Amino acid sequence: MIFLGIETSGRAGSVAVADNDQLLGEVDLSASGRRHARTLVPEIAALLSSLQLTPQDVDVVAVSIGPGSFTGLRVGVTCAKTLAYATGCRLVAIDTFLAVAAAQQDTTRVWVIDDPLRGDLFAGEYEQQEGLWRCVSPAQLQSLDSWRSRRKPEERITGPGLVTLEKEFTGSSLGESSTRLPHARSVVFLANQQAQTGHFADPWTLSPFYMRRSAAEEKADEKGLASSSAQPSGQ
């Protein structure tokens, strides 16, 4: 089976193709910031062409669904859903933090974190059992102090949040810098496992898992509240 993996949860991203569990190729997308909409489809086409494949040869498209950035996830998930609809291939949704955890070496338990800014932390706990990684504690938004009280000192920390928060964890066990960001190769690796157990997603209902809502949505809510409070009582 040919798997296409899409990872666009951050400012950069990647796409990968695998034949079952054998990685055939992977390319990085532009890291210049939120350019997935312009680069994703051409990069997918170029990668498939370099492997003498077409979109119709893809049996399963797997996409990283978050936590992550609003813009990147929206583009990646929309692309995967469109491809699944257009070609009839199956769709697999991959927890972005699980993809990070699965890239870790020499550990069987890890916290994956990201920095949603505003003084908070997004953190999820993952463990490996019999060669398979699974989620122990789903990623959730919490304060740094609250998370510290839950984490055991010996537990490893990794994830994109270390880009900005590494100084907060001096003396802790940290994942290698090369494995802190999610990669499409991990997405296709996990997709192969999920496909074998029949865990597919519905292209019509799949939605990304954002760390926060978009700025436009939050501004709309603020305007709505302001408008509501300005209404005279009784109206």
Choice among 8-22, 72-86, 123-137, 210-224 with the minimum mean pLDDT: 210-224
DSSP secondary structure letter of residue 29: P
> May I ask the CATH class of domain 99-179?
alpha beta
Give φ, ψ of 99 to 5 degrees: -65, -35
- Please tell me what DSSP assigns to residue 11: S
Beta strands in the chain (DSSP E): 2-7, 14-19, 22-28, 60-64, 90-94, 109-114, 120-129, 132-143, 156-158
Enter the pTM of the model: 0.87
With a cut of 90, say whether residue 173 has pLDDT above it. Answer: yes
Residue among 82, 83, 68 nearest 34 (CA): 68
Of the chain, the percentage scoring pLDDT greater than 90 comes to: 70
**Pairwise pLDDT comparison (228 vs 53), residue with the higher score:** 53
CA angle 73, 79, 84 (to 5 degrees): 125
Query: pLDDT tens for residues 28-86?
Result: 986 544 456 778 999 999 999 999 999 999 999 999 999 988 888 999 999 999 999 99
Tokens 């939050």, residue?
Answer: 218
CATH 3.30.420.40, the chain: domain bounds: 2-97+181-215, 99-179
Which pLDDT does position 234 carry in this prediction?
A: 45
Of all residues in the chain, the percent with pLDDT exceeding 70 is 86
- Number of helices (H) and strands (E), helices first, in the chain? 7, 9
Mean pLDDT of 159-180: 93
Look at residue 231 in the predicted model and tell me its pLDDT: 53
Query: How far is it, in rounded angstroms, from Cα 57 to Cα 203?
Result: 18
**Cα–Cα distance measured from residue 189 to residue 180, given in angstroms and rounded to the nearest whole number:** 17
Q: Give dist(CA 160, CA 149) in Å, integer.
A: 21
Instruction: At 219, give phi and psi (nearest 5°).
Output: -65, -35
Q: What pLDDT is recorded for position 187?
A: 98
Band of residue 131 on the pLDDT scale cut at 50, 70, 90: confident
What CATH architecture applies to the domain 2-97+181-215?
Answer: 2-Layer Sandwich (3.30)
pLDDT of residue 216: 47
